[in-house]
Each structure stands twice: as structure tokens, then as C-alpha cells.
Amino acid sequence: MSSPDATLAPDSATPEIKPGAPSHGLISQETRDIIVNGLWTQNPGIVQLLGLCPLLAISNNIINALSLGLATTLVMAVSSGSVALVRNFIPHEIRIPAFVLIIAALVTIVELAMHAWVPALYILLGVFIPLITTNCIVLARVEAFASKRSTTHSVLDATMMGLGLTAVLVVLGGMREAIGKGTLFSGIDLALGPIAKDWVIPLAHDYNGFLLAILPPGAFIGLGLLIALRNRLLMRDKS
């Protein structure tokens, strides 16, 4: 988890998206840019490298990764929309404390909902749910985008950034789980109940697993491979 203050120079990390750009088909160019930036060009997980602590710590299987990613996406979308609605009423001098207060309130709601409806998953994710409050990705998007743009585009930007992070979490979690345990969807019963126990997919019989993959070093190695793959794809497109 990075310090939020380190991310509050947003213009250097966020490509310019020009409001009022012409439409191409059913989606305006501005909307296209927001979607592409969140999912690929400025993906927070493999490009901006924000919020690495939860990304690396909780991505030891798909279910943990997906659960935390969706919770973070929900908080990002609602907090960005809320800030965009009230931005003109918040004095510039206290904007950061006000933004954190809004984010903290929404994280509390998500935490209580998970505690009530999926208690086993809530216990498993543990401290990483309340730590969404201080996740620099959430605060960075609120400060960089939502405090300056319309509500609709702010919600879209936060949702795409959150889904971009979730995609990285799920791919990294799938890699680590497959190599480390030889399964996919391990622990799905924690989210969906005992009926889902049979939904775990074994990838190999008599596979004892590779412990390094589900330990912290495996998270760094896996993330490094994803970054290298993205850079390779960009180089191939340019050639």
C-alpha cells in the first residue's frame, strides 16, 4: 500500500482526456479514452503500480483477488460519484480530509455488508477491507479526476480503474493458485456457501503444489511477469 500523498500529483500519471471530444458511433471519444485508460493504458496494477500491498498480499487465489477487487471497485465508483456531486461545496483547503471521510464511510458500509452476508470471506480478507480507505488508488482517482469532472465520467473512470485493478488481481491470483496449489476457484465456498465446494477445479492429479507461488516472493515474480508481458505486447504493436 503506497502513501496516498505520493499519488496526489495526478496530471503526471493521467493522460489528458479532452472533454467534449467528438463521438464515434454510440460511444464518445472521451468515454472511449476513459475506458481504455482504466483497463489498459493507465491500469493501476501494472502501469501506475498503485496499491501494491493489497494487490500482492491477497492475490494468492482467484476468489480472494476477485472479492477484494470488486469491493475496491464499488468503493471507488461510489466515492468518485459522491465527490463529483459535492466538489463545489468543499473548500479547497480541506478537500483531502473531506475525500478521505467520504471514502471511509463507504468502506465501513462495504465492510459491514461483507461481515453480515459473507462472514467467512470477511474473516479471510481481514484487515485489507478497512485498508481500502487508505488505498492510494481510491484517493488518487478522487483527487485526479472526480474533483474536476462530471459525475457520470467520474463514476465511469473509477469503475474502469477498479475493474482494471480487479483484472490484474484475478489474473495474478489465478497464476499463483494454479502453480501453487494446482487448482482454480479454491475457497469459492467462502463467498457462495457450502453448495459451491464442488466448483473448485483441480488442474492436475497428485500435484503437491509449488509453495513459492503462494508466498510473497511469488506475488512479486508474478506481477513482474505481467508487467513484462504488457511491455512486450506494446513493443510488438509498435514494431
Asked if 4 and 140 count as a contact pair (C-beta separation under 8 A), the reply is yes
Please give the Cα distance from 111 to 196 (Å, whole number): 23
Please give the Cα distance from 191 to 69 (Å, whole number): 14
Between 134 and 34, the more confident residue is 34
pLDDT of res. 26 = 76
By three-state DSSP, how is residue 223 classified?
helix
Residue 216 cell numbers, joined: 510473497
Residue 163 cell numbers, joined: 475493474
Helix, strand, coil share of the chain (percent; to 5): 75, 5, 25
Residue 50 confidence (pLDDT) above 50: yes
Query: Dihedral through CA 56, CA 232, CA 165, CA 174, nearest 10?
Result: -60
pLDDT tens, residue by residue, 123-176 = 989 999 999 998 889 999 999 999 999 999 999 999 999 999 999 999 999 999
Instruction: Give which of 35, 3, 31 is closest to 164, Cα–Cα.
Output: 35
pLDDT of res. 47 = 95
pLDDT of res. 224 = 96
pLDDT tens, residue by residue, 98-110 = 999 999 999 999 9
State the DSSP string of 14-30: S----TTPPEETTEEHH
Q: What average pLDDT does the structure give for the chain?
A: 89
pLDDT of res. 79 = 96
Sign of CA pseudo-dihedral 61, 205, 213, 39? negative
Residue 12 confidence (pLDDT) above 80: no
Report residue 13: phi and psi, to 5°.
-105, -10
Asked if 56 and 219 count as a contact pair (C-beta separation under 8 A), the reply is yes
Report residue 202: phi and psi, to 5°.
-80, 130
Residue 9 confidence (pLDDT) above 60: no
